[in-house]
A and B are shown apart, each in its own frame.
Chain A
Amino acid sequence: MTSRLEVSVRKSLPGFTLDVEWHAGDGVAVLFGPSGSGKTLTLQCLAGLVRPDAGRIVVNDQVLFDAAAGIDLRPQRRRVGYVFQGYALFPHLTVRQNVGFGLRDRSRAERGQRVNDVLARLSIEAHADRYPRDLSGGQRQRVALGRALATDPSLLLLDEPLSALDLPLRQALRDELRSILTGWGTAAVLVTHDLTEAYRLGDRIVVYEDGRVIQAAPRSELLWQPSSRSVARIMGLRNLLQGVTLKATPDRIQFRWRGQTLEAVNSPIRSYLPAPDSPLAFFIRPEYVRLIRKDRDGVDSAHHMNLMSGTIVREVDFGTIWTLYFRLDEPGPPAQGDYDLEVEVPRLVYEILEIDRDRHWRFSLHRGSIHVLPSA
């Protein structure tokens, strides 16, 4: 079944205005952005718990809300499942009663059958007669999912579904959640402020900032082509830098930065042609900077484009990786405080190259690893 979700919502609160418009299809749409950017408010509007001032919400051709037409279905009539932050399981009811809560209009036998099916599918039959307080975080998440999915909603909403969990559990349950969502096939909207979660769980990512949508794109596109500097900043991208354009063509962009002439691949989807001498924002993923080994001879320009050299001014050990802060061999103030470029190397590489003893390195960047950001 192909589902389609169209959301256009405006809601003014004291000190905050939500004004968003986006759409999504099958699978999971992730609303991603910092706390307080209006993600949960959007979910509440979708569920009918908050009434927007203006806008229109359509799920699979069913109009849930249309300010102009005076349509505003009550939450009870929307067939929208909601997994709340912290799960909001009814503490005075057993797992079975929680899951069956939305099935009141069905016969006793039918309800019992459906609850058993759901419990079995989520592997929580063994806990059916326990109370939420006796469950682990992961079991609670499954009960909350089961309660929302038992009614066969046309849309499932999840508000920070993993935030109630400890970090190690979070990662395990993230993958479990992904497989449950895929397995069930219900169109879902999930809210998170964690980029990794957004990527692991979302098919489409809608980036929120301060009550507005600043980018909505399929996951793969967003990762490599943030549409603007602010998207890149919200995504927590490092080495977000600014250079000066030399020459832009539909497939290459040449620019100057810190005395270097660098070349980047232009985005094939949205080719960006800034005028010569205009400022240019770009970012470099720290894990894509290649240190050049000194024990091998020859620098091959085909393999080593965008060649630079610099000195390590600081380094941080993150266990499996090392982060090195390089200052280029260039006069003038560094681009990012006391350094120019942040570089990540795996621990093994750090040890083989004996980086702890040698602080001066040459490094290169493939032109595909420099990502130019259209100014916006």
Chain B
Amino acid sequence: MSPDNLSALRLSLQVAVAATALNALVGIPIAYVLARRRFWGKSVVDLLVTLPLVLPPTVVGYYLIVLLGRRGVLGAPLYELSGFTVAFTWYAAVIAATVMALPLLVRTVRAAIESVDRDLERAAYTLGRSELRTVLEVTLPLARNGILAGVVLAFARALGEFGATLMLAGNIPGRTATVPLSIYTAVQTGESGEALGLVAVLTVLSCLVLVVANRLGARAA
């Protein structure tokens, strides 16, 4: 495998791991709140989190530019303060992958949390546990397999992210060109041999992920 491909693979893994970690950090609390709490605007939160699942990735990418680009709603003040912009860095690839993978994680984890008997949580409350401690000691351990399945799916989705990444992070070899983007470039420039190696790597990785997710899912059921 060529040095370019190797760096694309390393970048892809780096982005996918970071995006998965971020996903778990943000997604599990969202999933818990959606599963267990009733609050004003819940359906809006649910909609926003799920939207990337059905929107074309380029549209999500466009919204991310509007939000985080150098002249974006959040991006502009950030640039003025620090002279830093997220766009066209590997952070942008992480953010794009995170947003695109979030629905998979939130939906899987939410279903897992909803399948935990509420009486177990109530029992913990009457035995003196706060809601947070109950989540940590009862809910999450019992939803563990579902959570792992969600994390694995999010990882797979982050690894394969293309459209939103292209929009926000661009396709800069060695900096933001992840494996899917490199495959695209290789095909575009007629280097089909180069592309084939990466295609094989992604296929094998994705199969592995699916097998793991299925096993976890089966154990959770």
- Interface residue A218 (Cβ < 8 Å from any Cβ of B): no
Give the Cβ gap from B86 to chain A, nearest Cβ, in Å. 41
Please report which residues of chain B, range 126-154, place their CB below 8 angstroms from some CB of chain A when the two chains form the complex: 126-130, 138, 141-142
Report the interface size class on chain A.
Answer: 20 to 34
Find out whether the CB atom of A80 lies under 8 angstroms from the CB atom of B141: no
Is the pair B126, A78 in contact by a Cβ cutoff of 8 Å?
Answer: yes
The stretch of B8-16, B116-124, B171-179 that contacts the partner chain: B116-124
Is there an interface contact between B122 and A49, defined as CB atoms closer than 8 Å? yes
Taking a contact as CB atoms under 8 Å apart, the answer to whether B123 and A104 are in contact is no
Given contacts A88-B117, A91-B142, A92-B141, contact A105 B123 (CB under 8 A): no
Is A322 part of the contact surface with B, judged by Cβ < 8 Å?
no
CA of A330 to CA of B124, assembled, Å = 64
* Interfacial chain B residues near A90, Cβ < 8 Å: 120, 123-124, 138
**Chain A positions within 8 Å of B84 at CB level:** none
- Chain A 269-292 per-residue mask, 1 if CB under 8 angstroms from chain B, else 0: 000000000000000000000000
Q: Is the interface of B mostly helix, strand, loop or mixed?
A: helix
- Minimum distance in angstroms from B53 CB to a CB of chain A: 31
User: Which B residue's beta carbon lies closest to that of A85?
Assistant: B119
A 17-55 binary contact with B (CB < 8 Å = 1; else 0): 000000000000000000000000000100111000000
CA–CA, A114 and B120, complex, Å:
22
CB atoms of A76 and B123 under 8 A apart:
no
- Which of B119, B129, B130, B141 meets A88, CB within 8 Å? B119
Task: Please name all residues of chain B whose beta carbon is closer than 8 Å to the beta carbon of A147 when the two chains form the complex.
Answer: 123, 127
Instruction: Please indicate the chain A residues that have their CB under 8 angstroms from the CB of B120 in the complex.
Output: 88, 90
Assess whether B122 is in contact with A101, with CB atoms less than 8 Å apart.
no
Contact indicator A82/B126 (Cβ below 8 Å): yes
Most chain A CB within 10 A, of B123, B124, B129, is at B123
- The bracket for how many chain B residues form the interface is 10 to 19
Residues of B with C-beta under 8 A to A105: 128
A residues near B119, Cβ cutoff 8 Å? 84-86, 88
Whether B125 pairs with A101 at a CB distance below 8 angstroms is no
Q: Are B122 and A47 in contact (CB under 8 A)?
A: yes
Q: Which residues of A contact B129 (CB under 8 A)?
A: 76, 101, 104
Q: Complex Cα distance A47/B128, Å?
A: 12
Docked pose: A91 CA to B125 CA in angstroms: 16
> Which residues between 199 and 242 of chain A lie within 8 Å of chain B, taking CB atoms?
none
Is A151 close to B, CB under 8 A? yes
Query: In this complex, what residue of A is CB-closest to B117?
Result: A88
| CB contact between B127 and one of A48, A92, A102 (< 8 Å): that residue | A102
Q: What is the bound-complex CA distance between A81 and B126, given in angstroms?
A: 7
Closest to B130 in A: A76
A75 adjacent to chain B (CB < 8 Å): yes
Within 8 A of A (CB), among B8-39: none
Question: Which B residues lie within 8 Å of A47 (CB)?
Answer: 122, 126
- Give chain A's interface residues, CB within 8 Å of chain B: 44, 47-49, 74-76, 78, 80-82, 84-86, 88, 90-92, 101-102, 104-105, 147-148, 151
Task: Give 15 CB contacts A-B under 8 Å.
Answer: A49-B126, A74-B125, A76-B126, A78-B126, A81-B126, A82-B122, A86-B119, A90-B120, A90-B138, A92-B142, A101-B127, A102-B127, A105-B128, A151-B127, A151-B128
Given contacts A88-B122, A88-B123, 20 further A-B contacts (CB under 8 A): A47-B122, A47-B126, A48-B126, A76-B125, A76-B126, A76-B129, A80-B126, A81-B126, A82-B122, A84-B119, A84-B122, A84-B123, A85-B119, A86-B117, A88-B119, A88-B120, A90-B123, A90-B124, A92-B142, A102-B128
